[in-house]
Amino acid sequence: MDTSQLTQLNVLVPPDLAQTLGYDGDARFVGFYWGAGDELWTNDGRSEGTYGDWHAWDAFIYHRRITPVLVPYHFGSSDQDAEHYLIVDTRANDLYVASVKVARQFLDTQHSPLPRLTSETPIDDLRDILARAMSSISMPTVDEIQACMGVAATRIAAMVRWLDEQPNDAQRIAEAGVQP
């Protein structure tokens, strides 16, 4: 997919960053931003919502190795709408930034178009579509919620540990044998 309209960030990306930030879908590119309701929002071009883990978001964007790279961008706050999305390439493990408009267009293009529903769509077809969508929705139990919270805490700790263990830029240049 053509990422030329996105700005690639020169930063080491922790493994499974999208999952750590709370995304559990299968899209290659996923956008994150802080939005309405004072929540971390995710957008994969098919689904947009407050599925993100704000603890993980804060741990990532405020990490000493990440914050300096993100300073020029505004991913939203309690007081202002986002101007940018942070986009994770879940396959190449790259990180990009784009304006909200460009990000939404880009994320939408990674999927095949959905079939169009019209007022002439047979009611039985609509019932089938709704039944399939509703069949995948279930209320989690307290034990499932607690288990998910434990997994999230473990992922966040692993991400922070991974970031802490990465060499700084001067170390990476020295290890690569590149002359400054």
pLDDT (tens digit per residue) in 65-122: 999 999 999 999 888 999 999 999 999 999 999 999 999 999 999 887 767 777 888 8
Which residues fall within 8 angstroms of residue 171, CB to CB, at 6 or more apart? Answer: none
The predicted pLDDT at position 13 comes to 93
Do 20 and 159 meet the contact criterion of CB atoms below 8 Å apart?
yes
Pair of tokens at residue 11: 């930063």
Give exposure, 134-144, as e/b (b: 16+ Cβ within 10 Å). Answer: eeeeeeeeeee
pLDDT in tens, 10-40: 998 999 999 999 998 899 999 999 987 788 9
Judge whether residue 136 has pLDDT over 80: no
The predicted pLDDT at position 178 comes to 45
Do 36 and 48 meet the contact criterion of CB atoms below 8 Å apart?
no
Sign of CA dihedral 149, 134, 91, 31: negative
Question: From CA 147, how far away is CA 154, in angstroms rounded?
Answer: 11
